[in-house]
Amino acid sequence: MAWNSVSLESTLAMIVAALFAVAGVVNLARPGAVKRDFARWGYPAWFQLLCGALELLSAALLPGQQTRLLGLALAGAIMSGALFTLVRNREPFRHLAPALVFSALIAATLAVRG
């Protein structure tokens, strides 16, 4: 099967979905280090759970062709908030790098989509 923009879009969307699913599970599991990060950034305890739920929702929307654009929009909004938080709090590059990779994958998926 030859690669075309539809299969590339689907592949990128599945990668983004997998990453957001993992991030959502981590936020819902609330490991100590991540819980401390959210507290250090000034967010209430429930906000980490909201982020995890929204990440899982985005991951669930991305595989479907009819819901992909909504999933990408939600993922983009999540990453905008994450990048704002990380820059505002002057987090080191090791925290910023994954957010930049997630954002680049979302942008690439949208670019291939056309």
Sorting pLDDT into bands at 50, 70 and 90, what band is 6?
A: confident
pTM of the model: 0.92
Per the structure, the complete domain to which residue 107 belongs is given by: 5-113
Mean pLDDT, residues 8-33 = 97
Report whether 1 contacts 7 (CB < 8 A).
Answer: yes
> What is residue 68's predicted lDDT score, i.e. its pLDDT?
97
Domain count across the chain: 1
Sorting pLDDT into bands at 50, 70 and 90, what band is 97?
A: very high
> What is residue 3's predicted lDDT score, i.e. its pLDDT?
59
Distance, CA of 43 to CA of 91 (rounded, Å)? 15
> What is residue 70's predicted lDDT score, i.e. its pLDDT?
98
